[in-house]
Chains A and B, each alone.
Chain A
Amino acid sequence: MAKIKALKCKECGREYPVEPLHVCEFCFGPLEVEYDYDEIKKNISRDKIKKGPVSLWRYVDLLPVENPTVGLNAGFTPLVKAENLGKELGLNNLYIKDDSVNHPTLSFKDRVVAVALSKAKEFGFDTAACASTGNLANSVSALAASAGMNCYVFIPSNLETNKIIGSLVFNPVVVAVDGNYDDVNRLSSEVANEFGWAFVNINLRPFYSEGSKTLAFEVAEQLGWKTPDAVVAPLASGSLYTKIWKGFNEFKKVGILEENEKMPRMYGAQALGCSPIYKAFKEGRDWITPEKPDTIAKSIAIGNPADGPYAVKVTRESNGDMEVATNEEIIEGIKLLARTEGIFTETAGGTTIAVLKKFAEKGVFDKDEVVVAYITGNGYKTMEVLEGHLNKPIHIKPTLAEFKEKVVGQTINK
């Protein structure tokens, strides 16, 4: 346990033992894992990382797990140099961190769940649970199945059909709650009070959320132990975004990055129909006014984002900015990434690309700056949002004549 000292309240600094706790008993502030960075610095090196597993577990020295047992193939997803999209946006060094192909359930949630359930096993839990907008439920269901744990997932009942099927196939108990994600979250908090389950994003949240740091570690390693100049990432609860920032900073703190390595500017993306963090940032507030979400980007539709205040702070500190995308812009963002880079993302990724485009058009990036956009989920899970927005197949009889008339005539030399 040498690398972890305690859990510590981010607000008042009170310390707690390393247990499945997530709230400070005194001020209700969130608890965070407190590491012994001097100890970690002695153990970690670029060479050791490179020799580690081809997964997020190569960074285990900076994760709150002693013995990884769940999600052993999660992470280490491609960092794609986006030449075509870069050309359209006037950016010579644009990269896509592509977590749409994460293992095993095709979203960044496989990272946080790998960490949370490995920790849950260490604590001796036999039942996994979560409150989810879909991707997390998929990941918890799959990884709990592989870990031989019982599983309960709580989702809003209006989720995309494929995301529900994508959990059910692993045979968890799926609880579809009449309400939005914030209702599901509130209910799950109360359930977590009563039942001794490993709620990955509630009582295991201090450990769970640390998994997102690996999105920063991987990008830095894939860029040749460098940070990007700018990062564009989606904002839902604000946790992923703040942990990416923390990851880059930690990598520098333990000597993996050069001492003079500059930290990236952080750019946050929200859907216009659910943008409480964006509004707090733009209005110069430190607190979040909750909203009732109304957007097609359901995976990031959190109206009461608990890490919102921290996301606002990180954006200010890093000299970044935030933007919003309309439903139409989100669809266009999905299509733009698919058309230029051959990557099919879901609505959260569409939001990120739409916002990346807005910032590029505003000229906030120098054309040679290294810009990384985080694509956190897969489009095959939310295909229904594209209905009516794509070309139709060309139907023909199996004859050459019809092929020439209907296909060649309409698509070649057009």
Chain B
Amino acid sequence: MAKVTVRIPTALRRVTQGQGEVQIEAETIAELIENLEKEFPGIKERLVDETGEIRKFVNFFVNDEDIRFLQGKETKLEEGAVVAIIPAIAGGAK
């Protein structure tokens, strides 16, 4: 399994006990989410919705590329990759 670095946004650091960066082993983003959950229970439901899809306002970047330009949740992770979880910056009207 590839060991990758995951950068955690402020909004999730309560779940990661304040850590801004964690090391996780995973072959894909989907697996990464599962393995993050094992380490930090509660994080998964913040990242994916009831249907298992990544939430509308959550963006994943692998080595600075949006996974929506790659293979989405099935995007493969290489050893040493950096995965950044970043909230979409919205703030529109009701």
Residue ranges of A at the interface with B (Cβ–Cβ < 8 Å)? 10-11, 22-32, 182-183, 185-186, 189-190, 193-194, 201-202, 205-206, 208-209, 237-239, 242-243, 245-246, 249, 287, 289-290, 292, 304, 306-307, 309-311, 314
Contact = CB atoms under 8 A, between A and B. Distances in A.
Contacts of A245: 93
Contact of A29 (B57, B59, B61, B86): B57
Contacts of A243: 92-93
Q: Which 8 A-B pairs have the closest CB atoms?
A: A246-B93, A306-B90, A242-B92, A310-B92, A307-B92, A30-B90, A242-B93, A205-B91
Contacts of B46: 25-28
A134 to B, nearest CB: 17
Of A193, A292, A310, most B-chain CB atoms within 10 Å: A193
A202 B86 CA distance: 12
Interface string B62-77: 0010101100000000
B88 A28 contact: yes
A80 B55 CA distance: 43
A202 B59 CA distance: 15
A39 to B, nearest CB: 18
Given A28-B58, A304-B59, A306-B88, A23 B11 contact: yes
Given A27-B46, A186-B61, A10 B94 contact: yes
Contacts of B84: 186, 190
Contacts, number: 111
Contact of B91 (A25, A26, A32, A189): A32
B1 interface: no
14 contacts: A10-B92, A11-B57, A23-B87, A25-B14, A32-B91, A185-B89, A186-B61, A190-B7, A201-B89, A202-B89, A209-B91, A243-B92, A243-B93, A307-B90
Given A23-B9, A25-B14, A189-B86, A32 B20 contact: no
A287 B89 contact: no
Contacts of B61: 186
Given A23-B9, A25-B12, A30-B57, 18 more contacts: A23-B10, A23-B57, A23-B87, A25-B46, A26-B46, A27-B55, A28-B55, A29-B56, A32-B92, A190-B7, A193-B9, A201-B89, A209-B91, A209-B92, A239-B91, A306-B90, A310-B92, A311-B92
